[in-house]
């Protein structure tokens, strides 16, 4: 009776994750009995895979130190997952500055895919839509990303050379707490030791990162994503916008996410207006206003502009263009 090759390869994957794996654990994960696990191990040994048997109470099996694994082998589902991840990263802008690496990696995987799976993948990609948030996607240097990620994991201080949005350059020593990918950009949040305060830095503006000796203890129960989002929402920008929007927080967040806008629920109205739903004060800090009227139109909720007056003009101009388009007949472009 032929051996189930897929389970033998699954055993190899489990062993290559490192450490000693006991027989009972392997049997449970492979959904077989312990005798079958031992038979699979012998099959790997027959293929010259150096599986070592470890005796004792905490014994089991492990791979010999220094063993180099054979070329990567992926199932159909695994190959599809890898390619979708690469394509999604490309389209969302979540890649390093050597963006061609993701393209060449995807090409290598596709070359070994069966034709039927390639056609399935094409069908999936053709049906996917990736939305682009306001602003351009930018990518950091891969060496910067990897250095800071290692410092985050091992709680090591890091020295960075940073160029601010206004062009000012500085060298900072940072205790990094976490990396966050948001709206096509990478951020690192942590304590700037020179001022003893938390700061958020865009990785694409970091020219160089170098791990320093020593270590630090990160704050307890820290949420790097929340720190980045709150920092982005309160950062100084050219325009400060205040709106009142009627709707639920979920409806508003669908167009104005947490990294872009701060929400404060207003006291409920009295009388018939109370049944129409809650109102929120929405505060944004943005570099440009031209994209905001379209977002408010897409939100399709009642709103009022508190400031700036310039936004009122842009919204009115959009309304005029939409009304003009609605009156225009097709074909010769004449009006009703």
Per-residue pLDDT, 215: 92
Q: What is the pLDDT of residues 89-114, one digit of tens each?
A: 665 555 555 555 666 677 777 776 77
Angle at 253 between CA 248 and CA 258, to 5 degrees: 130
Averaged over 264-288, what is the pLDDT?
79
At residue 261 the predicted structure's pLDDT band, cuts being 50, 70 and 90, is confident
3-state secondary structure labels for all residues of 193-250:
CCCCEEEEEEHHHEEEEEECCCCCCCCCCCCHHHHHHHHHHHCCCCEEEEEEEECCHH
Per-residue pLDDT, 320: 93
- Rounded to whole angstroms, what are the CA distances from 9 to 4, 69, 242, 303? 9, 12, 58, 58
Got the DSSP string for 125-143?
HHH------SS------HH
Q: What is the pLDDT of residues 196-231, one digit of tens each?
A: 888 888 888 898 999 999 999 988 877 888 877 777
Long-range contacts for 317-321 (Cβ within 8 Å, ≥24 apart)?
A: 317/293, 318/293, 318/294
Q: What is the pLDDT of residues 112-137, one digit of tens each?
A: 677 777 776 666 665 455 544 444 55
Buried b or exposed e, range 276-311, using 16+ CB within 10 angstroms: eeebbebbbbbeebeebbeebeebebebebeeeeeb
pTM: 0.45
Per-residue pLDDT, 120: 64
Residues 32 and 7: beta-carbon distance below 8 Å: yes
Per-residue pLDDT, 280: 94
Residue 220 tokens read as: 């307890």
Per-residue pLDDT, 153: 85
* 49: DSSP letter: -
Per-residue pLDDT, 313: 93
Buried b or exposed e, range 29-49, using 16+ CB within 10 angstroms: ebebeeebbeebbebbeeeeb
At residue 316 the predicted structure's pLDDT band, cuts being 50, 70 and 90, is very high
Per-residue pLDDT, 96: 57
Q: What is the pLDDT of residues 296-306, one digit of tens each?
A: 999 999 999 99
- Percent of the chain exceeding pLDDT 70 equals 74
Averaged over 7-16, what is the pLDDT?
82
């Amino acid at each position: 009776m032929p051996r189930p090759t897929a389970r033998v390869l699954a055993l190899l994957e489990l062993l290559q994750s490192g450490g000693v794996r006991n027989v009972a654990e392997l049997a449970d994960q492979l959904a077989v009995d312990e005798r079958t696990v031992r038979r699979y191990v012998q099959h790997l040994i027959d293929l010259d895979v150096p599986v070592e048997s470890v005796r004792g109470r905490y014994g089991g099996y492990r791979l010999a130190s220094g063993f180099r694994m054979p070329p990567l082998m992926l199932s159909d589902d695994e190959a599809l997952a890898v390619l979708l991840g690469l394509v999604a990263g490309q389209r969302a802008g979540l890649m390093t500055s050597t963006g061609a690496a993701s393209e060449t990696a995807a090409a290598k995987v596709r070359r070994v895919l069966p034709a039927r799976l390639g056609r399935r993948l094409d069908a999936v990609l053709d049906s996917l839509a990736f939305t682009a948030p306001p602003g351009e996607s930018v990518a950091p240097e891969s060496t910067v990303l990897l250095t800071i990620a290692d410092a985050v994991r091992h709680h090591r201080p890091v020295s960075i050379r940073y160029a601010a949005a206004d062009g000012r350059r500085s060298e900072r020593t940072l205790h990094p707490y976490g990396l966050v990918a948001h709206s096509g950009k990478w951020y690192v949040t942590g304590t700037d030791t020179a001022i003893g305060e938390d700061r958020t830095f865009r990785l694409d503006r970091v020219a160089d990162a170098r791990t320093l000796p020593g270590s630090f203890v990160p704050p307890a129960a820290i949420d790097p994503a929340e720190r980045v989002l709150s920092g982005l929402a309160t950062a100084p920008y050219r325009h400060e916008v205040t709106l009142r929007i009627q709707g639920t927080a979920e409806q508003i967040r669908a167009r104005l996410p947490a990294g872009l806008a701060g929400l404060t629920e207003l006291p409920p109205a009295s009388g018939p207006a109370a049944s129409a739903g809650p109102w929120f004060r929405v505060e944004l800090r943005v570099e440009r206003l031209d994209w905001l009227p379209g977002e408010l139109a897409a939100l399709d909720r009642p709103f009022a502009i508190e400031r700036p007056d310039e936004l009122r003009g842009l919204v009115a101009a959009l309304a005029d263009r939409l009304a003009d388009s609605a009156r225009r007949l097709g074909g010769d472009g004449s009006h009703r």
